[in-house]
Amino acid sequence: MFKALADPTRRVILDELTERDGQTLFELCTRLAMKHEVTSSRQAISQHLDVLEGAGLVTTRRDGRYKFHYIDTGPLRAIAQRWPVQT
Amino acid sequence: MFKALADPTRRVILDELTERDGQTLFELCTRLAMKHEVTSSRQAISQHLDVLEGAGLVTTRRDGRYKFHYIDTGPLRAIAQRWPVQT
DNA sequence: ACCATAGGCAAGTAGGCACTTGCATGTCAA
DNA sequence: TTGACATGCAAGTGCCTACTTGCCTATGGT
C-alpha cells in the first residue's frame, strides 16, 4: 500500500475518486487530463489502477463493458495506528 | 513524504523510533539488526535517515559526535486529511 | 453481421532508487 | 598528539518501476 501511495499520479487518481467516486477508466483519463494536468496515457492510468486495487485502496465493479472504480480509504487507517499521531 | 514511506526499511526505522525515540545512527543499526532482522549497512541506514529527515518524518539533534534521531508523525496527518477515512 | 467503444495483455525501454565501496571529516579520551 | 569512535560524502552498480508500443478480447449499438 505504501508503494502504491508513492507515485504522484496514483495520489491524484485517489483525489479524483474522492471528488467523484465510481468512475470508469475513460472518465478518469479525461478528467485527470482536464483538471489535474495529467498527461499519462490510458494504459498508464490502467496500470496505476491495478496497483491501487492490489493495495486495496481501490475496488472495482464490472458492468458490461464498463468497469467502475471506487476508492477505499480503509487501508489508510493502518498508518495512524502504526505510528500514533499526537494531537 | 510518501516516497519516504515506500521503503520497508524506512518504515521499520520509524517503528524502532516509535519504540525508543532519540537514538543515534549506531544504536539504530544494532537494534535494527537485532530485533527487526535488518541486514542493511550503516551507510544504508544513514541514507534512509536522510530521506526520512527530508520528508519531515524524522528530526535530528547534534551533540558532539553523536546525532540523535527523533520521529515526527506530524506529516502523517496530511494523509487522513487528504483522503477522509470514514469510520 | 459489422463496427465502434471500453478495456486487457505483454514485451521493451529509460530513469530512479537502494545499496555498496572507499575515503574523508569531526569528536572525545588517554 | 595519537588513536578510536561516530558520522559524512561521493561515485559506481544492479534492480525495480513507470511508461510506451502494439496487438488482442469483449461488449453493445445499428
Residue closest to sugar C1' of C16 by CA: B3
Better pLDDT: B87 or A80:
A80
Note the pLDDT tens digit of each residue in B17-76.
Answer: 999 999 999 999 999 999 999 989 999 999 999 999 999 999 999 999 999 999 999 999
CATH of the domain at A70: 1.10.10.10
Do B19 and B32 form a contact (C-beta atoms < 8 A)?
no
**Of chain A residues 46-85, which have a beta carbon within 7 Å of strand C?**
46, 49, 65-67
Strand partners for A58: A71
What pLDDT is attached to residue B34?
93
Q: What is the mean pLDDT of residues B8-14?
A: 98
- The CB-side HSE value for A40 (13 A sphere, CA atoms) comes to 22
Structural domain contains residue A10 = yes
Note the pLDDT tens digit of each residue in A28-87.
Answer: 999 999 999 998 999 999 999 999 999 999 999 999 999 999 999 999 999 999 999 877
Structural domain contains residue B87 = no
Tell me phi and psi for residue B18, to 5 degrees: -65, -40
Please name the nucleotide lying closest to A65, CA to C1'. D27
Do B69 and B24 form a contact (C-beta atoms < 8 A)?
yes
Range of the domain at A51: 2-82
Structural domain contains residue A87 = no
Structural domain contains residue A62 = yes
Distance CA B10, CA B15 (A): 9
Distance CA A67, CA A63 (A): 6
**In Å, what is the separation between the CA of A62 and the C1' of D27?**
12
Tell me phi and psi for residue A24, to 5 degrees: -85, 175
Question: Which of A73, A77, A81 best probes binding to B when mutated, by most B CB atoms within 10 angstroms?
Answer: A73
B50 touches strand C (CB under 7 A): no
Please name the nucleotide lying closest to A8, CA to C1'. D18
Structural domain contains residue A70 = yes
**Overall domain count for chain B:** 1
Structural domain contains residue A54 = yes
Q: What is the mean pLDDT of residues A2-14?
A: 98
What pLDDT is attached to residue B85?
86
Take residue A80 and report the three cell numbers written for it. 495512524
Structural domain contains residue B72 = yes
Within 10 Å of residue A41's Cβ, how many Cβ atoms? 9
Distance CA B17, CA A84 (A): 12
What pLDDT is attached to residue A70?
98
For residue B56, the 8-state DSSP code is T
Strand C nucleotides where any atom sits below 7 Å of a protein CB: 5-10, 17-22, 26-28
Note the pLDDT tens digit of each residue in B75-86.
Answer: 999 999 999 987
